[in-house]
Every structure is written in structure tokens, then in C-alpha cells.
């Protein structure tokens, strides 16, 4: 059931999917802090439907979700290499975004909250040391 979709269409679907995710968070935030109304609920419903539709087409129909979540022994060498590359890049992007969000939260607190900054610095340290710690934990010889 794998559906071939052009690279440009896959990129567009990914952009729409993540844009909808950002809109979902923004609308929820707006509703929570400024009051819920029919427009907010309608916007949330539309954005959620678009997000789910693009997820279904981009990740499920193309079988990319299955590839990235499969065990290594179920993939050929090329699939393993591409999956490893995507996971590594995803890890880097996720780490940067997560840390920027935490840093933004600390700035929006209105005052310099030392606890949030300590969490930020600790997560930054964890992001840089976790991969080598996993190797240290799992490898017999290095």
C-alpha cells in the first residue's frame, strides 16, 4: 500500500503538518489565556483535521513511519543508513528546538528565574553527553 509521492509534495506536506502543529499550540494557548469561543474551537478543529490528514498521507501512506519505527533487522542496508541519518538529524533539531523553547519560557517569566536557567543548562549538557554515555554504557570495548 506504499504510495509514491514526489519529494516536493512530501516537503510541502511536512511544512503544512508542522505549521498546523504550531497553529494548534498557538490556538490552544490563545483559548486558554484569552477565553474559549466558537472561533477558537472551529480553528482548532480545522487545524487538527488538516494535521491528521497530512500525517496520514506523509507518514502512513508512504510507509515512512513504518520504516523509521522498524527494527534494524527488518530493513535493508540502504534503509538502515537513511533511517540512521534521519534519526541523527532529528535528534539535533529536536534538541535545539526544545532548548529554545525552554529558554523562551525562562525569558517570558518576566524575571531571571535561576531554576529555569539551571534546567536549561542541564538539558543542554544532557543533549551533548547522552549519545556518548549510551555508547559507554552499551559497548564492550571502545
Q: Which residues contact 92 (CB under 8 A, 6 or more apart)?
A: none
Q: Which residues contact 11 (CB under 8 A, 6 or more apart)?
A: none
Q: How many CB atoms lie within 10 A of CB 25?
A: 11
Give the DSSP letter of residue 111: S
What is the C-alpha separation between 25 and 21, in angstroms, rounded?
Answer: 6
Q: For all residues of the chain together, what is the average pLDDT?
A: 86
Q: Which of the four pLDDT bands, split at 50, 70 and 90, describes residue 22?
A: very high
Q: Quick: pLDDT tens for 23-42.
A: 999 999 899 989 999 999 99
Going by C-alpha positions, the residue among 88, 83, 69 that lies closest to residue 134 is 88
Q: In this predicted structure, what is the pLDDT of residue 136?
A: 80
Contact between residue 102 and residue 123 where contact means Cβ atoms under 8 Å apart: yes
- The pTM of this model reads 0.76
24 burial class (0-12, 13-18, 19+ CB within 10 angstroms)?
middle
Residue 1 has pLDDT above 60, yes or no: no
Q: Quick: pLDDT tens for 91-126.
A: 888 888 888 887 787 777 766 566 777 777 788 788
Arithmetic mean of pLDDT, 68-76: 89
Amino acid at each position: 500500500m506504499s504510495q509514491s509521492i514526489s519529494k516536493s509534495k512530501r516537503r510541502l506536506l511536512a511544512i503544512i503538518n508542522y505549521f498546523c502543529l504550531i497553529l494548534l499550540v498557538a490556538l490552544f494557548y490563545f483559548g486558554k489565556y484569552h477565553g474559549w469561543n466558537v472561533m477558537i474551537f472551529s480553528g482548532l478543529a480545522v487545524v487538527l483535521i488538516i494535521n491528521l490528514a497530512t500525517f496520514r498521507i506523509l507518514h502512513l501512506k508512504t510507509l515512512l513511519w513504518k520504516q523509521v519505527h522498524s527494527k534494524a533487522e527488518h530493513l535493508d542496508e540502504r534503509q538502515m543508513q537513511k533511517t540512521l541519518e534521519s534519526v541523527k538529524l532529528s535528534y539535533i533539531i529536536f534538541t535545539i528546538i526544545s532548548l529554545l523553547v525552554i529558554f523562551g519560557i525562562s525569558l517570558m517569566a518576566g524575571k531571571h528565574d535561576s531554576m529555569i536557567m539551571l534546567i536549561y543548562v542541564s538539558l543542554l549538557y544532557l543533549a551533548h553527553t547522552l549519545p556518548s554515555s549510551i555508547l559507554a554504557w552499551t559497548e564492550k570495548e571502545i
